[in-house]
Structure 1
Amino acid sequence: MRLIESAHGHQAPEPIAVTGIGAVLPGGGGATGFWRNISAGASQIGKLTRFDPDRERLPVFAAAQIDDFDHRPYLPELKPSHAAKYTREILIAMAAAEQARQDAALLPGAVDPRRLSIVMSSSRGPLDWWRTAMEPGAQTPFADSGAMFRGLAGSPASMSAIYIGAQGLVTTISNACVGGHHAIGLALRELRCGASDAVLVGGHEFPILAQVARCYLALGDGVISGERDDPARAVRPYSKDREGFALGEGAVVLCLERESSAYARGAHVYANILAHRALNEADHPTTMDMTGSLTAGLIRDVLDDAGRKPDEVGYVCGHGTATRYNDLAESRALRALYPQRSADALPPHGSNKPIYGHTFGMAGIINAAATSLMLHHQTLAPTANLVEPDPECDHDHVAEGARKAQFDLAVSMSFAFGSQTSVLALEAAR
C-alpha cells in the first residue's frame, strides 16, 4: 500500500479518487440530475402507486418511485434477446454502472479488463421477482433460462460486468443499510492492495412492496412515515414532527481509482475517499449506541487513518432516517466528538433521505455520491422539510437551502440493523 504525505503533513494511504457517478433514480438520472435534486432539496417522493395501500390495509402512502424506465438509451449495445431475460432491477443497475463508466471516461483499453472490478450492494436482491414468481397461479416463472438470472442477487453486478467487459472481482454484498459503505470499503482494499486499477462500486434497491412495508410497520410507530396529504414532506429527519422514512428505489454507482492513476490518465476527479471504518457494536439488533461515544470514537479512528483531525471536518452527511433513535444517535455522536463545542459550533450535518427516501443497501452509496458532489461544487446540500428541529437535534442542518462553503474534509455516516455503524472520510479533489 502506497503511503503519501498529505497536505497537512500526515502519512496516510493514497487517496482513492471518485472519477465517475452513475445514477438511475426518481426524478432524473446521472450526476447532473442527482446533484440538481440534492442541492435544491427537491423531494422525489410522491404518491405511492406501486401497490394499493388501502387494499393492503397499510398506512403507507408515499414512496420515491421510478415510474418509467427504458434501458435502451443507457445500454444501446445490449441485445433485445438478452434484455428480455433480465429484470427491471438488473437493467437499472446495469444502466447506472455504464453511466459511471462513461462519466469517468473509462474507455475500453484504459484499464486492463482483468483489473477492472465491480462491487455492488443490495439489502434484499430480487425480492419483487421472487414475490411474483411464488404467488399462487404464477405462470411458469421458472420455465426459461432467464429465471436463473432474474432470481440471483448478484446478477446486476454480473450482467454489468459482461456488458462493460470487467474481468476482475465481481461480487455483491448484502448487509442492510451499511452495505453500500461496506462495498466502498471492499473497493478501497482492492485498489490499495493493487488487485484492481478501477472499481465500479454501487448499490441497487427495489423495496417498494407491501411485504417490505409490513416488516417495518411491525417495528412500531415512527419507523415508516404515514404522510398522505403531502408526500414530498413525508420524510423529515431531525425534526420535532418526524414520522419515519419512505421507501425509495433505484441504482447509484461510483467509479473509483487510485488518485495517481486517475490523474495519469487525465481523469476528472469529483472528490477523494480517504478512509473507511466499520463497527459492529455486538449489542441490540435494532438500535445503536445512544450515548454517541461509540460512533464518535469510530469517526476519530477513520480520521486518524486518513491523517486528519475532527477539527478539520466541514460537513457530516448523516444517515438521517427520520426515526427517533437514528436522529438522536447522530446528534449525540456529534456532541461526543466535539465535547467542548456548543451546538451552533458543530459542523453542518444533514440528510438526503427527504429527497430519495430510504434505499437501504444503496443508502451508503447515495451518501458518498452526495458528499463527493458537495465537495466538488463547494456547496452544502440542505436537509429538506426541516422546519422545527427536535430540541436534541438543534444544530446546523443547512435547512435554509443550499449553502456555498469552503471545506476540504467531510464525513459520511451509515447505520444498520445488527448494531452496525460505518463511517467514510472524504476530501475535496486536489
Structure 2
Amino acid sequence: MSCLRRASRLTRGLSSSSAAEAETLPPPRPSAGRRVVVTGLGAVTPLARGVGATWDRLVAGRCAVRSLAAEDLRFPEEAAGRTLEQLPSRVVAAVPRGKGEDEFAEDTWTKDKSVSGFISYALCAADEALRDANWLPSEDDKKERTGVSIGGGIGSISDILDASQMIIENRLRRLSPYFIPKILINMASGHVSMRYGFQGPNHAAVTACATGAHSIGDATRMIQFGDADVMVAGGTESNIDALSIAGFSRLRALSTKYNSSPLLASRPFDCGRDGFVIGEGCGVMVLEALDHAKERGAKIYAEVRGYGMSGDAHHITQPQSGGRGAILAMKRALDQSGLHVNEIGYVNAHATSTPLGDAVEANAIKSVFGDHAASGDLAISSTKGAIGHLLGAAGSVEAIFTVLAIHHGLAPPTLNLERPDPLFEGAFTPLAAPKKMSIRAAISNSFGFGGTNTSLLFSCPP
C-alpha cells in the first residue's frame, strides 16, 4: 500500500472517529438570559464633572460650546496661534478643568504616567458610577464576577502628535516608554479593571460615534450570557486637538458658520445647521443582573430592555438616504424589548447637527413610529445642542440622559431649535424646551462612521 493511500485511510478513520465523538458531546450550556438593570451613573461632560450637575444644566438649557482657544491646542504659543488661524472650525465643547466642585481635576486622575486624557475621564466617571451604585467590593469572588466594557473612538491623538514631533526633531530616545499604553483604546477599561481589581470581562468596543452605546449593549449581553453579574460600561473621548479638528474639518463634518457665536453652533434638526461641534468627555453606567441588584438592595434607575444593531453597508461617512440602517437598529431594539412602538415615550436622537444625518434620522424615526410619532405622545430631542458631539463618548453620555429622562419623568430639550427642518410637521417636532411627562420606556440612538448603528432601549425599573 502506498504512503498516499495509507494517509488517506488514516484521515478517513480520524474523521469518522471525531464525528462519532462529537455526536456524544453534550450541548453548550444555554445563556443565562437574565434581566439587566442600571444601578450607577458617572459622567465627565462639557457641562460639568458629575452626573447631577450635568443633568441640572442640561434641563436648564445651558450650552457648553465655546470658542476654541490657542491654549486648547497645547502647542508652543507661536505654533498654536498659527495653527488656530488655519482651522476652519473654531468652536468646541471641552470638559471644564479646575479645582471647583463641578470641574475636572486633571492632576487627580493623571498621576500615573501611563494615563492619557481619555483614560483619565474614564477613571473619573467610573469612580462616580461605582460609588453611586454602592459597588466597591473587597471579596475576590465578587471582583471575579465584575467586568469592564469601556471603549473609545480615537484614543489619544495629542500623544501621537507629541511623539511624531520627537521623531522629526531627532529626539527618539526621549520617547516615553508609556507612549503605546497611553494611546491604546482598551487601556481605559484596563485601568478601571486594575484600579478596582475587577477580573470579569475586560472589553473595549471601537465603533466611532456608536462606541459608547455598543459598550453598554455588549456589557448587557455579557451579563445576560452569564459572564458577569456586574459590568462597568461606557465610552470615553479626549480629542480637542489640532489634528482631530483639522481632520474632521477636511471631511466637512464640523460647523464653521458660527465661529463668532459659538453658543449657536450646535443646532440639531434646525434649518441653520452646518455641521457638528467637536466635544469630549465620558459616560459610564454600572449594569447589573436584576436578581443580583435586588439581592443586595441596590437602587435601580432603569432596565436595559433592548439592544439593536445594524450596518448601513453604504458609505464610509454618509448614512444611506432612506435611513435603512437606523430603522433596522430601532426595530431590532423594539423586537428584543417586547414593547410596542406606542409604549416608547422618548427618543434621544443621535442628530449631530449635520444637514444630511439629522434629516435621515428624523425620517427613520417617522418610519418606525408612524402614527405614534405624529400623535405628539412621542418626545424627541438631541442633547448635542448643549454638549456638542462627544464622538466615542456620545452614546454612553446620551444613554445616561435617556435613563435620567425615565427616572425624573423629564425629557431634555434640543438647544438652538429656532426653525425646525421642514420635514417636521404638526406634533412630530423635536422638543425645544424640557417636557415634564411620564416616560415608561425610551430609546437612545447612536450612529457612527462606517455605517455602524446602535439603539439602546431602556424602561422604568421592574
Q: TM-score, normalised by structure 1?
A: 0.89
- Tell me the distance in 1 between the aligned counterparts of 2:100 and 2:175: 24
Q: Does 1:322 align with 2:353?
A: yes
Q: How far did residue 287 of structure 1 move?
A: 1.7
The match for 2:67 is: 47
Q: How far did residue 71 of structure 1 move?
A: 12
The match for 2:136 is: 107
What SS class does the counterpart of residue 450 from structure 2 fall into? coil
The match for 2:272 is: 241
The match for 1:211 is: 243
Letter paired with 2:43 = A
| Contact 1:327 1:393 survives alignment (8 Å) | no
- Tell me the distance in 1 between the aligned counterparts of 2:357 and 2:409: 27
Which structure 1 segments of 5+ residues have no match?
Answer: 4-12
Q: How far did residue 26 of structure 1 move?
A: 2.4
Q: Does 1:30 align with 2:50?
A: yes
- Tell me the distance in 2 between the aligned counterparts of 1:225 and 1:47: 11
The match for 1:361 is: 392
Letter paired with 1:60 = S
Q: Alignment length, in residue pairs?
A: 418
The match for 2:121 is: 92
Q: How far did residue 267 of structure 1 move?
A: 1.0
| Contact 1:53 1:59 survives alignment (8 Å) | no
- Tell me the distance in 2 between the aligned counterparts of 1:169 and 1:428: 27
- Tell me the distance in 2 between the aligned counterparts of 1:270 and 1:139: 51
After superposing the two structures, state which structure 1 stretch, 337-346 or 45-54, moved more. Answer: 337-346
The match for 1:402 is: 434
| Structure 1 residues 287 and 215: alpha-carbon distance in aligned structure 2, compared to 1, 3 A threshold | same
**Aligned Cα root-mean-square deviation (Å):** 2.8
- Tell me the distance in 2 between the aligned counterparts of 1:351 and 1:410: 13
| Contact 1:292 1:336 survives alignment (8 Å) | no
Q: Does 1:271 align with 2:306?
A: no
Q: How far did residue 219 of structure 1 move?
A: 2.5
Q: How far did residue 113 of structure 1 move?
A: 0.8
Q: How far did residue 424 of structure 1 move?
A: 1.1
- Tell me the distance in 1 between the aligned counterparts of 2:286 and 2:350: 22
Q: How far did residue 235 of structure 1 move?
A: 0.2
- Tell me the distance in 1 between the aligned counterparts of 2:326 and 2:118: 33
Letter paired with 1:409 = A
| Structure 1 residues 184 and 53: alpha-carbon distance in aligned structure 2, compared to 1, 3 A threshold | farther
Q: How far did residue 143 of structure 1 move?
A: 4.5
Name which one, 1 or 2, has greater alpha-carbon Rg. 2
- Tell me the distance in 2 between the aligned counterparts of 1:27 and 1:140: 38
The match for 1:8 is: none
Q: Which aligned pairs between 1:17-416 and structure 2 lie closer than 5 A?
A: 17-49=37-69, 50-51=72-73, 52=80, 55-56=83-84, 57-69=86-98, 83-109=112-138, 112-135=142-165, 136-137=168-169, 143-220=175-252, 223-340=254-371, 343=374, 345=376, 347-394=378-425, 395-399=428-432, 401-416=433-448
What SS class does the counterpart of residue 411 from structure 1 fall into? strand
| Contact 1:53 1:61 survives alignment (8 Å) | no
Q: How far did residue 141 of structure 1 move?
A: 7.5
| Structure 1 residues 320 and 107: alpha-carbon distance in aligned structure 2, compared to 1, 3 A threshold | same
Q: How far did residue 324 of structure 1 move?
A: 1.4
After superposing the two structures, state which structure 1 stretch, 142-151 or 211-220, moved more. Answer: 142-151
After superposing the two structures, state which structure 1 stretch, 101-110 or 249-258, moved more. Answer: 101-110
After superposing the two structures, state which structure 1 stretch, 45-54 or 242-251, moved more. Answer: 45-54
After superposing the two structures, state which structure 1 stretch, 116-125 or 139-148, moved more. Answer: 139-148
What SS class does the counterpart of residue 217 from structure 1 fall into? helix
- Tell me the distance in 1 between the aligned counterparts of 2:130 and 2:211: 21
- Tell me the distance in 1 between the aligned counterparts of 2:149 and 2:271: 38
Q: How far did residue 343 of structure 1 move?
A: 3.8
| Contact 1:61 1:226 survives alignment (8 Å) | no
Which structure 2 segments of 5+ residues have no match?
Answer: 1-29, 74-79
What SS class does the counterpart of residue 204 from structure 2 fall into? strand
Q: What's the CA shift string for 1:41-91, capped at 9, x where partnerless?
A: 211111112135764411212111124256999999x99995244223322
What SS class does the counterpart of residue 392 from structure 1 fall into? coil
| Structure 1 residues 410 and 35: alpha-carbon distance in aligned structure 2, compared to 1, 3 A threshold | same
Q: What's the CA shift string for 1:194-237, capped at 9, x where partnerless?
A: 110111011111121222222222223x6434312221221000
- Tell me the distance in 2 between the aligned counterparts of 1:113 and 1:72: 30
Q: TM-score, normalised by structure 2?
A: 0.83
Q: How far did residue 139 of structure 1 move?
A: 5.5
Letter paired with 1:108 = P
Q: What's the CA shift string for 1:313-346, capped at 9, x where partnerless?
A: 1011100101111111111112212344674546
| Greater percentage in helix | 2
| Contact 1:22 1:99 survives alignment (8 Å) | yes
Q: What's the CA shift string for 1:156-214, capped at 9, x where partnerless?
A: 22111111111111122211111112111210111001110111011111121222222
